[in-house]
Amino acid sequence: DAGVTQSPTHLIKTRGQQVTLRCSPKSGHDTVSWYQQALGQGPQFIFQYYEEEERQRGNFPDRFSGHQFPNYSSELNVNALLLGDSALYLCASSSGTGGFREQYFGPGTRLTVT
Amino acid sequence: KNQVEQSPQSLIILEGKNCTLQCNYTVSPFSNLRWYKQDTGRGPVSLTIMTFSENTKSNGRYTATLDADTKQSSLHITASQLSDSASYICVVSSYAGNMLTFGGGTRLMVKP
């Protein structure tokens, strides 16, 4: 049983560019959450997708957008990249959206903006 | 505002020694508290999850405690091993909003 997978593993982009990160949830999970983790800090919640809709959103600008597909996989898009967007982007999946649901994390995508 | 504070920020111990990490939270209404282990550059892996009614939960050499009255939790690591070197993150879930609030983590280094 494959766990949560993310692609790519590493990515280097230039300021102003756009980037798309991908996540496949654990088998049987239908909810995907995205987090940004700056170096040396805890993850910050970006948003959560369930039934192909954004259900919850953290304190992130509209430059951060997402999508969930019918097979429950998800994409995170970031437009007009800033140096401060450099971080580890984590995807977590769960079965259902309740806060008590166990979330399983992927290995993350390391984004570097130069 | 929901917050999770962890202490210490970093810790160095010798292999074989025990240590205790602390977590204080202000998340309300409380649903559950989780401890995750995160190796450098990797995703967090769940160690324990405790609900309001649970005071202690163990996972091998890891033992977590929860005092819901004082809103404090601790993670005790027994007989540390080099592989315990990682960041340990305390995460609190609220019934309101279904979001997780993460602490900043404690970076543990176990030296031989």
pLDDT band at B108 (very low <50, low <70, confident <90, very high): very high
Task: Specify the 3-state DSSP secondary structure of A84.
Answer: helix
Average pLDDT over chain B, rounded to an integer: 92
User: What ranges make up the beta strands (E) of chain B?
Assistant: 4-7, 10-14, 19-25, 30-38, 45-51, 56-59, 62-67, 72-77, 86-94, 100-102, 106-111
B65: nearest Cα among B51, B73, B90, B32: B73
Asked if residues B74 and B89 have their Cβ atoms less than 8 Å apart, the reply is no
Whether the pLDDT of residue B2 is over 90: the answer is: no
> Token pair 């401060």 is at which residue?
A84
Q: Cis bond leading into A70, ω under 30°? A: no
Between A58 and A65, the more confident residue is A65
Provide the shortest C-alpha distance from residue A98 to chain B (in Å). 5
One-letter amino acid at A110 equals R
Provide the shortest C-alpha distance from residue A20 to chain B (in Å). 19
C-alpha distance from residue A4 to each of A11, A106, B18 (Å): 19, 5, 32
pLDDT band at B27 (very low <50, low <70, confident <90, very high): confident
Provide the shortest C-alpha distance from residue A62 to chain B (in Å). 19
Whether the pLDDT of residue A30 is over 80: the answer is: yes
Tell me how many helices (H) and strands (E) chain A has.
0, 11
Give the DSSP letter of residue A47.
E
Q: Are B44 and A105 inside 8 Å of each other by CB?
A: yes
Contacts of B51 in chain A (CB under 8 A): 100
* CA distance linking residue A91 with residue A101, whole number of Å: 15
Least confident of A30-34, A65-69, A99-103, B59-63: A99-103
Q: Are B43 and A90 inside 8 Å of each other by CB?
A: yes
Query: Could you tell me if A70 lies within 8 Å of chain B, comparing CB atoms?
Result: no
| DSSP result, B96-111 | TTT-EEE---EEEEEE
CA closest to B51 among chain A residues: A100
Contacts of B97 in chain A (CB under 8 A): 56, 99
Between B99 and B110, the more confident residue is B110
Given this model, what pLDDT does residue B96 score? 59
Q: Are A103 and B100 inside 8 Å of each other by CB?
A: yes
pLDDT band at B26 (very low <50, low <70, confident <90, very high): very high
CA closest to A44 among chain B residues: B102
Q: Are B31 and A99 inside 8 Å of each other by CB?
A: yes
